[in-house]
Structure 1
Amino acid sequence: MVTGFQGFPKEFLRFYAELIENNNRDWFGRNKQRYKDVVVYPMCDFIEAIAPRLEAIAPTYIADPRPNGGSMFRIYRDVRFSRDPKPYKEHAACQFRHQAGRDAHAPGFYVHLALDGVRFGGGIYLPPAPILTKIRHAIDEKSADWNAIKNDPDFRKTFPDGIRGDGLKRAPKGFPIDHPEIEDLRRKTLFVMKPLLTVEGITKPDFIDEVEDAFQKATPFMRFLTNAVDLPF
């Protein structure tokens, strides 16, 4: 597909290399306009370009290109309860959430851009207990569908690490420890991610095509999660 988005500028990578060495408010204050020019606006362009592609894949998921309040995550870290005093995130990211979701606990497609790795895919992050319970029961009751998704050759090739996410040490309430899907039933977060071979790949015109392809390959997984929490895909 032809797109006006030709990749992130190389200055995007230079900005984060310098931020890692100067993660303080004085430096960021002097470079705030630069941040907008080489990170925020290019990310908005990317989101705007991926929007029609995402709509074709998953019409109930939203790509909002607004620089504030849209799909892009803010750079500011919440350090109130953190041992890490750094005020700024050393990566850029965006999430395309379900239209019914008002926060990060809804299912969503995700793109993560950092010097130590670029990845994109989808899933659901630490959903509240009632939502997680619905997902667990769906995995239990539709285990054949769940395994068909996990074992699909294209799915496994695209997401070499499979379905991931931190989990409980024990079986969740109501499920036996010897359940055949116990590994996934114990998860508190469920996601799949495709790693980009090189960070510099984000500066290439075909980066958006790779993201689109990963979103397409994640569709059965995302549809399962979406339907499990009683939302339309």
Structure 2
Amino acid sequence: MLQTSTLKFLKDLKKNNNKPWFEKNKSVYLEAKEDMDSFVGQVIEGFGKTDPEIANLHPKDCTYRIYRDVRFSPDKTPYKTHMGAYLNKGGKKVPTAGYYLHIESGSSMAGGGLWMPQAPELNKVRQEIDYSFAEWKKVLGDRNFRKHFPDGLDQGEILSRPPKGYDDQNPAIEYLKLKSFIVTRNFTDAEVQSKTFLKEILKTFASMTAFVQFLNRSLE
């Protein structure tokens, strides 16, 4: 479970997203960071038994900095108001499919997949879905997968027309138009702070193992 103080820090940071406040509360941030790192370590230890490629990761390989890169953003607030971790076979800097944990007061979630891959990788995934559509449907139709992700794949980034080389009559066209292949499951603040949260994260990630493996196979 994550501590109440961690969510409180993130909630307070959202109201006071400026350097003076952050520096004044640096010790609180460090405690929250340690709490997040500890939880991610438990996830790695537990989920590594299901996906051996995750087992040798360390929290520092997976967690993101709280400091925002504002150089090219119109939003100049200096800090992220969430804590995140991405678990995949190479760590967060490797662009392969994996498992994501997002902790934010009122907006926590877990899920993963492959977010906005570059054109060469995107083409490989589309080709694999086209060639192995029966297997893809089986992965997405798995009872445990659907239990944790009843809404299916995120539809936020999608082409208005079929991608080059495909047409509207392709049985897989609704998936071939996607620019990302991700699923998410939301958690309330109470769930994040409950004693069963770790268990629920492990179950959520386990339910999408075949999904992640399919995506990564397509990138090979």
Query: Paired residue for 1:220?
Result: 210
Taking the aligned partners of 1:164 and 1:199, their CA distance within structure 2 comes to 22
Alignment check: 8 A CA contact 2:62 2:85 kept: yes
Alignment check: 8 A CA contact 1:104 1:125 kept: no
1:55 to 44, 48, 51: 48
Query: Paired residue for 1:135?
Result: 125
Relative distance call for 1:28 and 1:104 in structure 2 (3 A) is farther
Structure 1 position 174 matched with structure 2 position 168: no
Structure 1 position 40 matched with structure 2 position 30: no
Alignment check: 8 A CA contact 2:8 2:105 kept: no
* 1:60 match: secondary structure: helix
Query: Paired residue for 1:3?
Result: none
* 1:195 match: secondary structure: strand
Alignment check: 8 A CA contact 2:3 2:35 kept: yes
* 1:184 match: secondary structure: helix
Displacement of 1:104: 5.3
Query: Paired residue for 2:175?
Result: 184
**Counterpart residue type for residue 202 of structure 1:** V
**Counterpart residue type for residue 131 of structure 1:** E
* 2:154 match: secondary structure: coil
Query: Paired residue for 1:108?
Result: 98
Taking the aligned partners of 1:11 and 1:189, their CA distance within structure 2 comes to 34
Query: Paired residue for 2:24?
Result: 30
Taking the aligned partners of 1:152 and 1:227, their CA distance within structure 2 comes to 18
Taking the aligned partners of 2:189 and 2:141, their CA distance within structure 1 comes to 28
Displacement of 1:102: 6.4
Question: Once structures 1 and 2 are overlaid, which stretch shifts more, 101-110 or 213-222?
Answer: 101-110
Structure 1: segments with no counterpart, 5+ residues: 1-6
Structure 1 position 88 matched with structure 2 position 79: yes
Structure 2: segments with no counterpart, 5+ residues: none
Structure 1 position 147 matched with structure 2 position 141: no
Structure 1 position 207 matched with structure 2 position 197: yes
Relative distance call for 1:206 and 1:102 in structure 2 (3 A) is closer
Cα RMSD of the aligned pairs, angstroms, is 1.5
Instruction: Indicate the percent of aligned positions where both proteins have the same amino acid.
Output: 33
Q: Deviations over 1:78-102 (max 9, x none)?
A: 1122121211111111001222x66
2:154 to 160, 164, 179: 164
**Counterpart residue type for residue 135 of structure 2:** D
Taking the aligned partners of 2:2 and 2:145, their CA distance within structure 1 comes to 27
Alignment check: 8 A CA contact 1:73 1:92 kept: yes
Taking the aligned partners of 1:84 and 1:201, their CA distance within structure 2 comes to 30
TM-score by length of 2: 0.93
Displacement of 1:188: 1.4
* 1:57 match: secondary structure: coil
Taking the aligned partners of 2:94 and 2:6, their CA distance within structure 1 comes to 25
Alignment check: 8 A CA contact 2:109 2:186 kept: yes
TM-score by length of 1: 0.88
